[in-house]
């Protein structure tokens, strides 16, 4: 052996470890460079093939930068909180920390074998108190902050309180759950509890009712991607939509900055587009519709205020708070039935299934604020509560979902936009709506003749003048739900007094995860932490029993690598001034709308409160592709089809001097081949089948004056194998006018299954692919002996080979590329 890699690799790994070759410290004589991998969730399965792909890429880059004179920060750690360890704990009673530790050790061992240049002295684990102290600390800062829209920055909540004391909400321009209005005197007159409730409307980490995917079987809230077809992906338990009090992060306050920041980072356009769509900024108008005969305002958000004249009905989300109030007694039963039926569909399903039209009429009518027309109000689950106001004005002529709804329920359709230079037509003849945004207004009073863009502006002006609407920006982005009813996560440093949540003092951090006897929710449906003994503050106030979600620990881990052992601060000013943000981030693109949004939010917040010197965490990002699996097939011959194909090759194209036709039919009689000139009928089949038909078919042939030849497939197979030409000779004899026995009874075909090599001519016509264990296939060539031993039914397998370029018999398999399991960590 010339290069003894096993020995040499071990030797140098030891050397690197002993001499701490990869340890880095702040060094102001050199420029810094920060190369980061998305840290893995340590699953029980060990590293996946996709992990090293990204890690090797970052390793090359980090080593290269170091050779180029940079001081390179290249750390690794573990996203250690996750559901699998908790599920395992519920089943076996093993503490998730034990499972996690074991898995981490395995990951480390595997990574060490590859020889990465990580500075392991900087390792972080999100489940360690020394780490999650800062996750909790950041939560407290969020809890104690609000967002000022004017200065586009997070500010301490104390400033807001001071402002309320001075002038109440007058002229307030801040991020809020809903607009509130009170004077300084009213604020001062409020009880402490009332004030706390008011502040929840502004805090960046706040508690509020939210529609969630509640899974009673698992006893927890699930994220949209953890639900499919109304069932939990894990366990398959029913999931229902339910309004619950949840911790949330006011990420929507940062929507505009999250959009603008994308222009400053070097990421792929596809990931940027995913984020832009996820944030989903749209300019539009909020319009007030009165409910006929009632003193109720229905607020609607629309991006197409120009189409108000074409509004023919309104639709509310089934969970809209006004549904109960406006539904007439006659329609109540129908509406309630509809609400129950649609309750358990996730938002994703509701948005995806646009073709299934369903809905119920409430019996109430809205009044068009411009035309005064009466518009029937329906409920339907294609309208989502979280987007806009949960109510829409339907314009069936110019929106495909409204069009489908109107067509299904026979509601009127009015055209208000036409292509320039054309005339309006009768919408009842249309097959689809006209959704284009470049057009000219018709049937719209004072908007007639204007372009869509101009008409939107004109209509907003009119609405504002009449006091029935305002121009408004809307986002698709929602605040992030931040609590889970699970054990294996960060506890909230929150206690309850008089039913209101209060922040614990920073000196109490880390608030460590308590030991509990069982890891599942309590019998009364409370989170597992409710089982903890003495889960109260020193003063005896109960501590929050929810825990934080998986993304809490992964949203700011890159900061902690800069100063991982600091127990006074998240990270020092000095460390952050030097290392700043990540220069190159490598990981999967599937985190585009999860981890990569939360991290940016986290970073912007830390920037606002003066901790981070940069407001984007990852300057350049590369998303590695998927490693795909390759599956192989062997082609199993259908014997009858194979033999038919073989015989056809002998007789087609006048090879025997006469013309044969395929598939001859006469009434219910069918034969494989027929020669009209000589009157020859040929049928190829299994012996057993031929025996059954020999008599009637002979009678038929005699009657018509045809000659009949029945060929058992074993004859063809034998011809193939032995190179004899018995079948061909029989047909030649018939063509020559000689008598040939119709059929010779003999042995049936008892051979094992027959497989044909991929490139043999006609193979597609007489074979079907079967999956083959890829360990028996090398360069697409099958190890036939291993194949025979693979399964009992294959032990007699026979093969028709092809020749390789050296003339050897080989059996070639087909192959197909498919996605291997998702390699990504659970960020």
Partner 1 sequence: MFLGPLEQSKPWDTQGIEGTFRFVRKFWRLFHNENNEFCVSDEPATAPELKSLHKLIKKEEDGIESISFNTVVSAFMICVNELADMKCNKREILEPLTVMISPYAPHIAEELWHLLGHETSVVNAAFPAYDESKTVENSFNYPISFNGKMRFNMELPVTMNADEVQAAVLAAPESAKWLEGKQVRKVIYVPKKIVNIVVG
The residues of the shown chain that bind partner 1, judged by CB under 8 A, are: 2-3, 5, 8-9, 11-13, 15-16, 19, 21-22, 49, 53, 56-57, 59-61, 63-64, 66-69, 115, 117, 268, 622-630, 779, 817, 819-820
DSSP state of 254: G
Tokens 């659970």 correspond to: 826
Residue with Cβ nearer partner 1 (324 or 630)? 630
Residue with Cβ nearer partner 1 (22 or 147)? 22
CA–CA separation, 461 vs 641, rounded Å? 75
Residue with Cβ nearer partner 1 (224 or 775)? 775
Please count the other Cβ atoms lying within 10 Å of the Cβ belonging to residue 244: 14
| Concatenated DSSP letters of 166-220 | HHTTTT--B--SS-----HHHHHHS-HHHHHHHHHTT-SEEEEEEEEEEETTTTE
Across 725-752, b (16+ Cβ under 10 Å) vs e yields: eebbebbbebbeeeebeebeeeeebeee
For the bound state, the minimum distance from the C-beta of residue 384 to partner 1, rounded and expressed in Å, comes to: 33
What stretch of H or E contains 712? strand 707-712
Give Rg (Cα) of the chain. Answer: 37
Residue with Cβ nearer partner 1 (86 or 119)? 119
Q: How far apart are the first and last CA of the chain?
A: 44
CA–CA separation, 319 vs 324, rounded Å? 9
Residue with Cβ nearer partner 1 (6 or 534)? 6
Residue with Cβ nearer partner 1 (498 or 804)? 804
Please count the other Cβ atoms lying within 10 Å of the Cβ belonging to residue 22: 20
CB of 389 closer than 8 Å to CB of 300: yes
CA–CA separation, 576 vs 563, rounded Å? 8
CA–CA separation, 707 vs 740, rounded Å? 9
| Concatenated DSSP letters of 50-97 | HHHHHHHHHHHHHHHHHHTT-EEE----B----HHHHHHHHHH---HH
For the bound state, the minimum distance from the C-beta of residue 779 to partner 1, rounded and expressed in Å, comes to: 7
CB of 692 closer than 8 Å to CB of 710: no
CB of 347 closer than 8 Å to CB of 386: yes
Tokens 């290392």 correspond to: 579
Residue with Cβ nearer partner 1 (53 or 740)? 53
For the bound state, the minimum distance from the C-beta of residue 108 to partner 1, rounded and expressed in Å, comes to: 18
Residue with Cβ nearer partner 1 (266 or 297)? 266
For the bound state, the minimum distance from the C-beta of residue 22 to partner 1, rounded and expressed in Å, comes to: 7
Residue with Cβ nearer partner 1 (3 or 705)? 3
Residue 139: partners with Cβ closer than 8 Å, 6 or more residues away: 205, 492, 493, 548, 552
Residue with Cβ nearer partner 1 (14 or 149)? 14
Across 387-426, b (16+ Cβ under 10 Å) vs e yields: bbbbbbbbbbbbbebbbbbbbebebebbbbbbeeeeeeee
For the bound state, the minimum distance from the C-beta of residue 6 to partner 1, rounded and expressed in Å, comes to: 10
CA–CA separation, 148 vs 621, rounded Å? 30
Residue with Cβ nearer partner 1 (66 or 203)? 66
For the bound state, the minimum distance from the C-beta of residue 359 to partner 1, rounded and expressed in Å, comes to: 41
Residue with Cβ nearer partner 1 (220 or 624)? 624
For the bound state, the minimum distance from the C-beta of residue 34 to partner 1, rounded and expressed in Å, comes to: 16
Smallest Cα–Cα separation from 743: which of 679, 692, 667, 700?
692
Write out the E strands in 250-309.
Answer: 282-291, 297-302
Residue with Cβ nearer partner 1 (479 or 583)? 583
For the bound state, the minimum distance from the C-beta of residue 45 to partner 1, rounded and expressed in Å, comes to: 16
Residue with Cβ nearer partner 1 (115 or 525)? 115
For the bound state, the minimum distance from the C-beta of residue 67 to partner 1, rounded and expressed in Å, comes to: 4
| Concatenated DSSP letters of 458-526 | HHHHHHHHHTSEEEEEE-S--PEE--BS-SSSPBPSEEEETTEEEEPPGGG-S-PPPP-S--SPPTTS-
Smallest Cα–Cα separation from 533: which of 520, 512, 517?
517
Residue with Cβ nearer partner 1 (8 or 151)? 8
For the bound state, the minimum distance from the C-beta of residue 213 to partner 1, rounded and expressed in Å, comes to: 30
Q: Give, in order, the Cα–Cα distances in Å from 19 to each of 13, 76, 118, 169.
A: 10, 19, 13, 62
For the bound state, the minimum distance from the C-beta of residue 49 to partner 1, rounded and expressed in Å, comes to: 6
């Amino acid at each position: 052996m010339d290069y003894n890699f096993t020995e040499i690799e071990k030797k140098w790994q030891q050397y690197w470890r002993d001499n701490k070759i990869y340890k880095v410290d702040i060094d102001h004589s050199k420029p810094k460079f920060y190369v980061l991998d998305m840290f893995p969730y340590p699953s029980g399965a060990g590293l996946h093939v996709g992990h090293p792909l990204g890690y090797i890429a970052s390793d090359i880059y980090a080593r290269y930068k170091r050779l180029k004179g940079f001081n390179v920060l290249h750390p690794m750690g573990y996203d250690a909180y996750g559901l699998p360890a908790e599920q395992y704990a519920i089943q076996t009673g093993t503490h998730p920390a034990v499972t996690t530790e074991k898995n981490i050790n395995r990951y480390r061992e595997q990574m060490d074998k590859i020889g990465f240049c990580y500075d392991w002295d900087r390792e972080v684990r999100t489940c360690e108190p020394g780490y999650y102290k800062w996750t909790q600390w950041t939560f407290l800062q969020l809890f104690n902050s609000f967002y000022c829209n004017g200065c586009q920055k997070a500010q301490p909540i104390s400033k807001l309180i001071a402002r309320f004391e001075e002038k109440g909400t007058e002229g307030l321009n801040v991020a809020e759950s809903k607009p509130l209005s009170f004077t300084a005197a009213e604020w001062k007159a409020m009880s402490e509890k009332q004030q706390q409730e008011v502040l929840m409307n502004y805090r960046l980490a706040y508690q509020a009712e939210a529609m969630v995917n509640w899974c009673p079987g698992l006893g927890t809230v699930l994220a949209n991607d953890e639900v499919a077809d109304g069932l939990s992906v894990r366990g398959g338990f029913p999931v229902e939509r339910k309004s619950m009090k949840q911790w949330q992060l006011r990420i929507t306050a940062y929507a505009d900055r999250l959009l603008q920041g994308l222009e400053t980072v070097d990421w792929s356009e596809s990931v940027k587009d995913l984020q832009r769509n996820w944030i989903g900024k749209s300019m539009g108008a909020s319009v007030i519709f009165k409910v006929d005969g009632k003193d109720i305002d229905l607020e609607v958000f629309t991006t197409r205020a120009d189409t108000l004249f074409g509004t023919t009905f309104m639709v509310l989300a089934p969970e809209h708070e006004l549904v109960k109030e406006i539904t007439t007694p006659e329609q109540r039963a129908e509406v309630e039935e509809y609400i129950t039926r649609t309750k358990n569909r996730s938002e994703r399903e509701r948005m995806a299934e646009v073709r299934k039209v369903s809905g119920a009429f409430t019996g109430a009518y809205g009044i068009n604020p411009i035309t005064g027309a009466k518009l029937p109000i329906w409920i339907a689950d294609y309208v989502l509560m979280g987007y806009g106001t949960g109510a829409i004005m339907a314009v069936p002529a110019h929106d495909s979902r409204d069009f489908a709804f109107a067509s299904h329920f026979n509601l009127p359709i009015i055209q208000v936009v036409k292509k320039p230079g054309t005339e309006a037509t009768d919408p009842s003849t249309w097959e689809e709506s006209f959704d284009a945004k470049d057009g000219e207004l018709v049937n719209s009073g004072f908007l007639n003749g204007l372009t869509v863009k101009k008409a939107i502006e004109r209509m907003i002006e009119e609405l504002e003048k009449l006091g029935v609407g305002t121009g408004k920006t809307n986002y698709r982005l929602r605040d992030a739900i931040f609590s889970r009813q699970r054990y294996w996560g960060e506890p909230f440093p929150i206690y309850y007094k008089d039913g209101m949540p209060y922040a614990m003092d920073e000196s109490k951090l880390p608030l460590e995860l308590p030991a509990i006897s069982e890891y599942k929710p309590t019998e009364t449906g409370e989170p597992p932490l409710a089982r903890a003994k003495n889960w109260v503050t020193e003063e005896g106030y109960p501590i929050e029993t929810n825990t934080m979600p998986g993304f809490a620990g992964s949203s700011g881990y890159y900061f902690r690598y800069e100063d991982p052992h600091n127990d006074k601060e998240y990270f020092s000013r000095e460390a952050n001034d030097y290392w700043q943000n990540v220069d190159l981030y490598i990981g999967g693109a599937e985190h585009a709308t999860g981890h990569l949004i939360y991290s940016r939010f986290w970073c912007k917040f830390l920037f606002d409160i003066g901790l981070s010197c940069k407001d984007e965490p990852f300057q350049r990002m590369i998303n590695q592709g998927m490693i795909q699996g390759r599956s192989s097939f062997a082609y199993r011959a259908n014997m009858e089809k194979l033999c038919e194909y073989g015989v056809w090759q002998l007789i087609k194209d006048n090879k025997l001097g006469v013309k044969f036709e395929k598939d001859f039919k006469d009434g219910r009689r069918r034969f494989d081949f027929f020669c009209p000139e000589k009157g020859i009928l040929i049928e190829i089949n299994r012996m057993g089948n031929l025996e059954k038909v020999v008599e009637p078919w002979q009678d038929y042939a005699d009657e018509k004056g045809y000659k009949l030849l029945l060929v058992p497939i074993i004859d063809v197979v034998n011809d193939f194998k032995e190179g004899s030409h018995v079948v061909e000779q029989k047909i030649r004899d018939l063509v020559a006018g000689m008598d040939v026995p119709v059929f010779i009874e003999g042995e049936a075909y008892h051979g094992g299954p027959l497989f044909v090599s991929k490139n043999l001519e006609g193979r597609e016509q007489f074979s079907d692919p079967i999956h083959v264990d890829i360990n028996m296939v090398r360069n697409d060539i099958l190890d036939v002996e291993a194949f025979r031993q693979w399964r009992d039914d294959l032990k007699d397998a026979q093969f028709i080979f092809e020749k390789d370029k050296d003339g050897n018999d080989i059996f070639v398999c087909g192959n197909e590329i498919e996605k291997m399991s998702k390699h990504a960590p659970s960020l």
